């Protein structure tokens, strides 16, 4: 009888130990290490689609399925992410995200750097900034951070001077000196390539410039340096930022395969920032 009781007790102990081991394994899986998972990521149309296909390939090897949702504007990706219809997005630089969060009361946060897309100044009418003359109409993006970025580019090109300290919050109202009395037309970033024929020149974000058939290093009459601080990022809802699955996403993006692809195909105008 005693032997039977001992056998029952040993069986119970063994069951508890096995259950504990099972729980430990489940916990590790929940941390995302090789566990099958899926993320829905919002990106910009064009060049980034090609790059994210490489990210998808790398992630798939880690049992991570990435579904891409492509947008043609800079407004919806953050709103849709905040509403929970995306798990992450990757289309913007941090100054834009910070301003957009403030303006729309959103709780989003950066989790990683991706690429730097130096923006350029383009024209169908002139070949050099020196050809810009008094009263010409110049286009720039109408969103706050890209507008400021364009104004800084104009200042670097010697066309204007901004008020001291305006920096990344500069608007056309911060133009302190405009010797050529240039007229500035603020337009939706995606629309600028279509409006270029009606302008003397305009700043066009790199993804839209490429979609329009421009080769930035060849066609831009003035361009940001490759070490520009305007680096694009991956953003998520703040409440989700510590989820282990996002470390798998970052690992896939920051892989050697993706970096090699960027450098070989787009290295003349896109800089991998890792």
According to the model, what pLDDT value does residue 168 have? 87
How far, in Å, CA of 271 to CA of 94, rounded? 16
According to the model, what pLDDT value does residue 152 have? 95
CA distances from 21 to 16, 17, 195, 270 (A): 9, 6, 64, 47
According to the model, what pLDDT value does residue 135 have? 98
Phi-psi region of 7 (alpha: psi -120 to 50; beta: other; left: phi over 0): alpha
Domain ranges in the chain? 37-118+229-272, 120-223
Check if CATH label 3.40.190.10 holds for domain 37-118+229-272: yes
Residue with tokens 């395969």: 257
Per-residue model confidence as pLDDT tens digits over 166-200 = 988 899 999 999 999 999 999 999 999 999 999 99
According to the model, what pLDDT value does residue 192 have? 98
Per-residue model confidence as pLDDT tens digits over 50-94 = 999 999 999 999 999 999 999 999 999 999 999 999 999 999 999
Inform me whether the pLDDT recorded for 144 exceeds 80: yes
φ and ψ at residue 161, rounded to 5 degrees: -130, 135
- Answer whether 37-118+229-272 and 120-223 agree in fold: yes
Q: Residue 252: name the closest of 61, 88, 58 by CA.
A: 58
Per-residue model confidence as pLDDT tens digits over 148-165 = 999 999 999 999 999 999
Q: Looking at 5-9, 84-88, 137-141, 165-169, which range is the least confident one?
A: 5-9
Residue with tokens 């010697």: 158
According to the model, what pLDDT value does residue 32 have? 57
Judge contact between 270 and 116, C-beta under 8 A: yes
Judge contact between 205 and 120, C-beta under 8 A: no
Inform me whether the pLDDT recorded for 30 exceeds 60: no
- pLDDT-derived band at 228 (thresholds 50, 70, 90) equals confident
Inform me whether the pLDDT recorded for 95 exceeds 80: yes
Judge contact between 246 and 89, C-beta under 8 A: no
Check if CATH label 3.40.190.10 holds for domain 120-223: yes
DSSP H or E run through 80? helix 76-82
Percent of the chain with pLDDT over 70: 88
Inform me whether the pLDDT recorded for 36 exceeds 50: yes
Report helix, strand or coil for 236: strand
Cα 19 to the center of its chain, rounded Å: 44
Question: pTM of the entire structure?
Answer: 0.74
């Amino acid at each position: 009888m005693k032997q039977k009781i001992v056998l029952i007790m040993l069986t119970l102990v063994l069951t508890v130990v096995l259950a504990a081991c099972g729980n430990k394994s489940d916990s590790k899986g929940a941390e995302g290490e090789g566990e099958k998972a899926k993320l829905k990521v919002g990106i910009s149309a064009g060049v980034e689609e090609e790059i994210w296909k490489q990210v998808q390939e790398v992630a798939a090897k880690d049992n991570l399925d990435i579904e891409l949702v492509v947008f043609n504007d800079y407004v919806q990706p953050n709103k849709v992410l905040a509403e929970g219809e995306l798990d992450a997005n990757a289309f913007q630089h941090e100054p834009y995200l910070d301003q957009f969060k403030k303006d729309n009361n959103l709780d989003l946060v950066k989790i990683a750097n991706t690429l730097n897309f130096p923006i350029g100044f383009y024209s169908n009418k002139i070949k050099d900034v020196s050809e810009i003359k008094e009263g010409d109409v110049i286009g720039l993006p109408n969103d706050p951070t890209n507008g400021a970025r364009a104004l800084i580019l104009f200042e670097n090109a010697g066309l204007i001077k901004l008020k001291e300290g305006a920096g990344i919050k500069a608007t056309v109202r911060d133009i302190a000196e405009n010797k050529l009395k240039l007229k500035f037309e603020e337009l939706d970033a995606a629309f600028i390539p279509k409006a270029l024929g009606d302008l003397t020149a305009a700043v066009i974000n790199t993804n839209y410039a490429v979609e329009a058939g421009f080769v930035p290093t060849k066609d831009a009459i003035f361009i940001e340096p490759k070490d520009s601080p305007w680096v694009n990022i991956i953003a998520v809802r703040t409440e989700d930022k510590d989820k282990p699955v996002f470390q798998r996403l970052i690992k896939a993006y920051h892989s050697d395969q993706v970096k090699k692809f960027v450098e070989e195909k787009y290295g003349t105008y896109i800089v991998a920032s890792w």
